[in-house]
Amino acid sequence: MKSGLGTFCDDFYISCRLFLKMQMKLERETVLHFFDRIRKEYPGLRKLRKRNNGGVIIEEEASEEGSRRWIRIDPDALRFGHYAPADIEEVRAFSELIVQQAPYHFSFSDIDFDHLELAYGFDLSYRGNHDQLVAETLSGDSAAANFLFGDEAAHVIDVQPYYGIALTPECDLQAYVEVKSRTTTYEVRRESHENQPISVLMTLRKYWGVDPPATLHAAVAGLFDVADDLATEKVAPNFVTPLAAAIASRS
C-alpha cells in the first residue's frame, strides 16, 4: 500500500537529518544500546553495517511493497528515514521514538544542533530524455523557453530546477524543491535511454540559534506539519503531478 503522497509517483520516501556542530565519538556500547532500544519497537531493524567514515547504519529488509526503515549515525549527524511508507503517521511515530531516545544516548544538546532537515522524495520512472521532459513540462512557458527550445538547440541536456524560500522573516525555517534528472549526454547521442527515475525532492531546513531553542521533538513534529501541507498543496500538484502526466502522455 502507498501513502497518500505516494500515489502521485512510482516511489516515495522520507528522510530526516540532524547535523551537529561538534563531532560525536561513536562508542560501540552506546551505539548498540541505542539501536537495541529502537529495535524493541521495530525488531525488523537487523542489518547492521559500518561505513568508511566511522558511521554505522542499521536497516530493515525491504518488504514485498518495498517498505524499509533505516537509521544512520555519523560522527557529525544523525539520519533516519523510511522508504515506501504505507502511511506518513508511521514515519512520524518512528521519528518521534528516535528523537526522544537519541539525546539521552548521545548527550545531544540544542547548543550543538546546527540544523535539522526533513526531506520528502518523489521518484518518477521514465525511459527518455529527462531534461527534455522537465524543460517542456516546467519551463515550456517561461522566459527560458527561447533558449531551451530555440533553433540553435539540438538537444536539451541539463535542466534541474532548484528553488528555495524562507518560511519565516528570520530565515531560520527554509523550504527547497529540487528536480533531479539522470539522463547522460551519452544516452542522448545514442538515442538509447535507461529507465531511471526523475526525482522531485522537497527539503525543509530548520536552523537553531535564532528563536528560543525548540526541543528536538517539537522541531521534528513542526517540520512534519509544514512538510505535509507544502507537499500536498504545492509540490505534488505543481511539480510531481505535471511530470507524471507528461510521462504518461509519452508512454
* Residues facing residue 20 across a β-bridge: 113
**pLDDT tens digit sequence for 29-63:** 999 999 999 999 999 999 999 988 778 999 999 88
pTM of the model: 0.94
Percent of the chain whose pLDDT exceeds 70: 97
User: Do 166 and 174 meet the contact criterion of CB atoms below 8 Å apart?
Assistant: yes
What are the C-alpha distances in Å from 90 to residues 35, 135, 150? 18, 35, 48
Of all helices (H) and strands (E), which one includes residue 246? helix 241-249
C-alpha to C-alpha distance for 111 and 216, rounded to whole angstroms: 11
Domains of the chain: 5-249 (3.30.160.110)
**pLDDT-derived band at 4, boundaries 50, 70, 90:** confident
**pLDDT tens digit sequence for 158-193:** 999 999 999 999 999 999 999 999 999 999 998 889
C-alpha to C-alpha distance for 91 and 93, rounded to whole angstroms: 5
Residue 51: the pLDDT is 84
Evaluate if residue 2 carries a pLDDT over 80.
no
User: Do 171 and 160 meet the contact criterion of CB atoms below 8 Å apart?
Assistant: no
User: Do 198 and 127 meet the contact criterion of CB atoms below 8 Å apart?
Assistant: no
Q: What 8-state DSSP symbol labels residue 6?
A: G
Task: Give the pLDDT mean for 208-234.
Answer: 88
Tell me which residue of 183, 185, 170, 177 sits closest to 236, measured CA to CA: 177
**pLDDT tens digit sequence for 68-105:** 999 999 999 999 999 999 899 999 999 999 999 999 99
**pLDDT-derived band at 111, boundaries 50, 70, 90:** confident
Task: Give the pLDDT mean for 125-137.
Answer: 95
More confident residue, 69 or 215: 69
Evaluate if residue 250 carries a pLDDT over 90.
no
**The length of the chain, given as a count of residues:** 251
Residue 1: the pLDDT is 40
Residue type, 76: D
Residue 15: the pLDDT is 97
Residue 213: the pLDDT is 63
**pLDDT-derived band at 5, boundaries 50, 70, 90:** confident
Evaluate if residue 214 carries a pLDDT over 90.
no
